[in-house]
Amino acid sequence: MGEEGALGSLYDVILRDYLIEGSEADLYSALNLGKICVEEEIGPDEIVGLHLSSIKKLVNESPQENLSKLLLKSLNLLVEVMVAYGLSYREYQEAKIQHQQLEQELKIAKKIQKSLLPRQLPQIEGIDLGARMIPAKEVGGDYYNLLAFDEHNLGVWIGDVSGKSIPAALLISMLKYALHAFISKKDMYAEPKNLITHLNNLICNDIDPDCFITLFYSYIDIKSGEFLFTNGGHEPVLHFCKDRMRCDELRTDGLVLGVIKDQAYEQKKRTFSSGDILVFYTDGVTESRDGEGNHFGVSRLKAMITKNADLTAQDLVDRLINYVLNHSQMKYFDDITLVVVKKK
């Protein structure tokens, strides 16, 4: 039996019960039937057809003297079905328009987000770089950038802004241009805690109190083999040390940006030796879940980095993302972003 045949049988039952009992429950069933017709894309003319078909069956079963009363009463039920249909159809159209608007917003947000990411990675002797971001269907707020200040110094930052869609994309835009304004001064770009502190104060002044940004910034001096870093509430960057064959989590004290003005941020220094790797990532990597709800996790990420440490930076990025996608069975609800810096 097709959809229309099943609806016809249902209409027969509801109409028959209503004509016999005339209860509120029967009218409620009529209201639900109207909603079902919208969901099944049954038009008003088809609903009237269902009604007439049911009436014809009842006419053949009913005494002739009761026909006028039966037909008149049946119209009450038809009116209930049509009213419910009209209301449900209006809600359906409104939801459809909202969905179309959301889809358009997502397209715009994705374009903004993509335009703010680096088009190509800098070329610096002695350093191998790789990066990739896979945006979620619902655009998140992941952002990263790499900037060569000269032939020996590199700045790398990765962040995540609160919110989704266009608001998140606009926050990323503000973050990018604020960063570029600050890094024109060496006392900013060469001192991560200064840069993070000034950014935090700017964000506290200029964005909605409900918004915030996580940001990890590292200044790498290739010539000296050292790097400085400060973390503003972001995921700790992983430092693979080749001589020890292990990954360390780089942590410093400091809240997310945009919460407390004049917040103090900590800065630390580490050695960056040949074969060492820095892996910057967002929570879309570690919080990716499998079918049983298990996170990919930091421990698994560390193990995969150690296992694949001989790969080039970009190949390592792609391999790690492939692990994450397989873990989540391609069902991810947040941006997945990875940046790898490898010392040759």
10-29: b or e for each residue (b if 16 or more CB lie within 10 Å)?
A: bbbebbbebbeeeeeebbeb
What is the residue-wise DSSP string for 292-310? Answer: T--B--HHHHHHHHHHTTT
Domains, the chain, ranges and CATH?
3-108 (no CATH), 117-343 (3.60.40.10)
**pLDDT tens string 160-181:** 887 665 666 677 777 777 777 7
Q: In what order do the strands lie in the sheet with 142-148?
A: 142-148, 153-161, 213-221, 226-232, 268-271
**Contact assessment for residue 285 and residue 304, using Cβ atoms and an 8 Å cutoff:** no
Q: Say which residue the tokens 């269907």 belong to.
A: 137
Using CA atoms, how far apart are residues 170 and 105, in angstroms rounded to an integer? Answer: 12
Helix (H), strand (E) at residue 161: strand 153-161
DSSP bridge partners of 213? 161, 257
Confidence of residue 113 (pLDDT cuts 50, 70, 90): low
Distance CA 317, CA 329 (A): 18
For the segment 317-324, the average pLDDT, to the nearest whole number, is: 97
- Report the pLDDT averaged over residues 9-17: 78
Residue 263 has pLDDT above 90, yes or no: yes
Q: Average pLDDT of the chain? A: 85
